[in-house]
Amino acid sequence: MITHLSGNIFEVSPSSIVIDCNGVGYSATISLQTYTEVQKLDKTHLYVQEIIREDAHLLYGFSTKAERALFNLLISVNGVGPASAIMMLSSMSSVEIATAISSGNNLALQKIKGIGTKTAQRIILDLRDKITGLETSEVLEAGSSNKNKFEALSALEVLGISKKITEKIIDKILEGNPEIQVETLIKETLKKL
């Protein structure tokens, strides 16, 4: 079983990557999170999940172990295949998905293309207990700034303010003060709109 790939990036797109490992090119499907991490690199190291089917051997590549672990949890849910899991990881960050699952926020999951009400509820029901046991500090303990960013974005979205407008402002505020409280972050963001 292939668990990781290291080598030169031969070709990369928002949905796939080809890594040259000593003259052999391995193609892997990637999420937008991973694409953002590797798009400007010449060499990379990806954590890989290999899925073997009757008609194909598929590789899914991730820039972090946390993203791969979350992918494996997602595909363990009945009705969520690898394509849906990659779509989820491309639509939301690992922290946002983990937070939505642990808080039972099925509306956040339903915003992802291909995830309906029943699937979102099944994901939360099946993974709520497992997500807290994830062996990585990156997903659930990614620092309060990531959780605070997600909570502030969600709160501002409820107020009817577009995520596209507020995300850059929140990022600038967090850059200067990563430990800011959620309430203060929302107030500061509203002042800068």
Question: pLDDT tens across 61-117, in order?
Answer: 999 888 998 999 999 999 999 999 999 999 988 888 888 888 888 899 999 988 999
pLDDT surpasses 70 at 136: no
Range(s) for CATH 1.10.150.20 in the chain? 65-140
The amino acid that residue 153 corresponds to is L
Residues of the chain within CATH 2.40.50.140 domain(s) are: 4-62
* Fold of the 144-192 domain: Helicase, Ruva Protein; domain 3 (1.10.8)
In the chain, CATH 1.10.8 covers: 144-192
Q: Which residue type, as a one-letter code, is found at position 119? A: T
Burial class (CB in 10 A: 0-12, 13-18, 19+), 176: exposed
CATH superfamily of the domain spanning 65-140? 5' to 3' exonuclease, C-terminal subdomain (1.10.150.20)
The fold of 4-62 is: OB fold (Dihydrolipoamide Acetyltransferase, E2P) (2.40.50)
The pLDDT value given to residue 5: 93
Q: Do 174 and 145 touch, CB atoms closer than 8 A?
A: yes
- Residue 134 confidence (pLDDT) above 70: no
Q: Is the pTM of this model over 0.85?
A: no
Minimal CA–CA distance to 189: which of 167, 157, 164? 167
